[in-house]
Amino acid sequence: MKAIRTLGIAAAAALAAGAANAQISDNVVKIGVLSDMSSLYADIGGPGSVVAARMAVQDSGIEKNGIKVEVIGADHQNKPDVGASVARQWYDVEKVDVILDTPNSAVALAVNQVTREKNKVFVNSGAASSDLTGKQCSPNTVHWTYDTWMLANGTGSAIVKTGGDTWFFLTSDYAFGHALERDTEAVVLKSGGKVLGKVRHPLNTQDFSSFLLQAQASKAKIIGLANAGGDTINSIKQAAEFGIVQAGQNLAGLLVFLSDVHSLGLKTAQGLIFTESWYWDLNDQTRAFAKKFAPQNGGKYPTMVQAGVYAGVLHYLKAVQALKSDADGTKVVAKMKEMPTDDPLFGKGTIRQDGRKVHPAYLVEVKKPEESKGPYDYYKIRATIPADQAFRPLNQGECPLVKG
């Protein structure tokens, strides 16, 4: 009898607590950072993304309003099946309300599906595939930081305009590489360039010399690196060794992150041109963020992906506060799209119907060693691509949400 009475009291207490903060499921907004925590993309998102999410929760001040927020993280090991099963477990068992970050397009596309099925929220920062807001767009997904179309458009057209009109692609052989290659090829062809050949290499390759030799034999003016992380680093490092740039061919890093440049060193990376949507040294607010972030992340400065996680969490929490509920994923995302975004890192912006977050992009060039004032002072901003031109026009993505 006593046990039953205790249970009853506990249930009543739980009900009362539930009523107190309306519709927050299980009384806590649970944020799951699903990323590559241990392999080639771990410095791009990884543990740093968890740091960024925690900072965002703190800066949002949401807990002062009586809403509890919890941040957890997990490693998807770059395997779509692992990513999808973590997502399922998080949503079903751990009562996670929103998944953040998730680099690796193959994993992101899997999580995109699971999130839609479970009617939760997916705010992606780390993955690149423009399919997330294209054919596979979902009313539960926001794609925050960048995508393959943005990279292709920014870097591809800038290079073709300055005379780099014949291309050879070194492509990472999975969803992301294929998307990046496809989007860049379209830009090159549209700008009047030609693609002379391509080679697809397995993810996480140590030795690129064979592929580089094929690129060299093609005599293309530009070797487009449609890969990321450690693969890009190894390609650039070995291209320098084989004298590819000295022989007159140029490298186009289609997706390069701050952490990659740090790892290459300025001596090897100098002169490289690519597109990013965020850099820590843009203005006072971004610098302040970086200064606060770095000590919590082992001295490593934030990448655009980690910045995107920070901004994504802030905006998500704003929408939850406005709705006073985190229960219905579609409604939260609809609210996120309805409210204009405004955060210290990306400034003012919007989220489109297809889930695409829109903000300016920057064409950057890596500084020469003598131009840099020290570690992480790496980029010169060559051009700013305004928000309305940086991303794929809404009607060209074949997103079913837009048609309907």
Partner 1 sequence: MFELLGIPPQALFGQLLLGLINGAFYALLSLGLAVIFGLLNIINFTHGAQFMMGAFVAWMLLNYLGIGYWWALIIAPVVVGITGVIIERTMLKHLYKLDHLYGLLLTFGLALIIEGLFRNYYGSSGQPYQIPAELTGGRNLGFMFLPNYRAWIVVSSLAICLVTWYMIERTKLGSYLRAATENATLVRAFGINVPRMVTLTYGFGVGLAALAGVLAAPVQNVSPQMGSSLIIIVFAVVVIGGMGSIMGSIVTGFGLGVIEGLTKVFYPEASNTVIFIIMAIVLLIKPAGLFGRAA
Q: In what order do the strands lie in the sheet with 121-124?
A: 68-75, 28-35, 98-101, 121-124, 141-143
- Residue 293 near residue 300 (C-beta atoms within 8 A): no
How far apart CA 298 and CA 150 sit, in angstroms, is: 30
Residue 41 binds to partner 1 (criterion: CB under 8 A):
yes
Residue 241 binds to partner 1 (criterion: CB under 8 A):
yes
How far apart CA 274 and CA 256 sit, in angstroms, is: 7
User: Considering only residues 233, 256, 319, 320, which one is a binding residue for partner 1 as defined by CB under 8 A?
Assistant: 233
- Binding-residue pattern over the window 120 to 159 for partner 1, x denoting contact by CB under 8 A: ----------------------------------------
Q: Which residue has the tokens 């487009």?
A: 224
Residue 298 binds to partner 1 (criterion: CB under 8 A):
yes
SS3 225: strand
Nearer to partner 1 by C-beta: 239 or 333? 239
- Please tell me the count of residues contacting partner 1 according to CB under 8 A: 44
Partners of residue 365 on adjacent β-strands: 273, 380
How far apart CA 340 and CA 236 sit, in angstroms, is: 39
User: Considering only residues 59, 200, 296, 372, which one is a binding residue for partner 1 as defined by CB under 8 A?
Assistant: 200
User: Measured from the CB of residue 151, what is the shortest distance to partner 1 in angstroms?
Assistant: 19
How far apart CA 167 and CA 367 sit, in angstroms, is: 24
Nearer to partner 1 by C-beta: 162 or 210? 210
Nearer to partner 1 by C-beta: 26 or 173? 173
Residue 268 binds to partner 1 (criterion: CB under 8 A):
yes
Closest CA to 110 of 93, 94, 124, 96: 124
User: Measured from the CB of residue 163, what is the shortest distance to partner 1 in angstroms?
Assistant: 23
Q: Which tokens belong to 342?
A: 């405004």
Tally of residues, the chain: 404
SS3 177: helix
Residue 216 binds to partner 1 (criterion: CB under 8 A):
yes
Q: Which of these ranges, 12-20, 127-135, 229-237, 361-369, lies near partner 1 under the rule CB under 8 A? A: 229-237
Residue 238 binds to partner 1 (criterion: CB under 8 A):
yes
User: Considering only residues 104, 125, 234, 341, which one is a binding residue for partner 1 as defined by CB under 8 A?
Assistant: 234
How far apart CA 341 and CA 287 sit, in angstroms, is: 20
Please list the alpha-helical segments (H only) found in 119-151.
Answer: 148-151
- The DSSP line for 322-383 is HHTB-S-HHHHHHHHHHSPEEETTTEEEEE-TTSBEE--EEEEEEPPGGG--STT--EEEEE
- Binding-residue pattern over the window 299 to 318 for partner 1, x denoting contact by CB under 8 A: -x------------------
User: Considering only residues 2, 16, 192, 206, which one is a binding residue for partner 1 as defined by CB under 8 A?
Assistant: 206
Residue 295 binds to partner 1 (criterion: CB under 8 A):
no
Nearer to partner 1 by C-beta: 202 or 404? 202
User: Measured from the CB of residue 229, what is the shortest distance to partner 1 in angstroms?
Assistant: 7
Residue 229 binds to partner 1 (criterion: CB under 8 A):
yes
How far apart CA 34 and CA 50 sit, in angstroms, is: 9
Residue 237 binds to partner 1 (criterion: CB under 8 A):
yes
User: Measured from the CB of residue 40, what is the shortest distance to partner 1 in angstroms?
Assistant: 6
User: Considering only residues 260, 276, 343, 354, which one is a binding residue for partner 1 as defined by CB under 8 A?
Assistant: 260
How far apart CA 120 and CA 101 sit, in angstroms, is: 15
Q: Which of these ranges, 115-123, 239-247, 276-284, 392-400, lies near partner 1 under the rule CB under 8 A? A: 239-247
CB under 8 Å to 70, separation ≥6 — which residues? Answer: 28, 29, 30, 31
User: Measured from the CB of residue 202, what is the shortest distance to partner 1 in angstroms?
Assistant: 4
Residue 204 binds to partner 1 (criterion: CB under 8 A):
yes
Which residues bind to partner 1, rule: CB under 8 A?
Answer: 38-44, 46, 173, 199-202, 204-207, 209-211, 213-214, 216-217, 229-230, 233-234, 237-238, 241-243, 247, 259-260, 262-265, 267-268, 298, 300
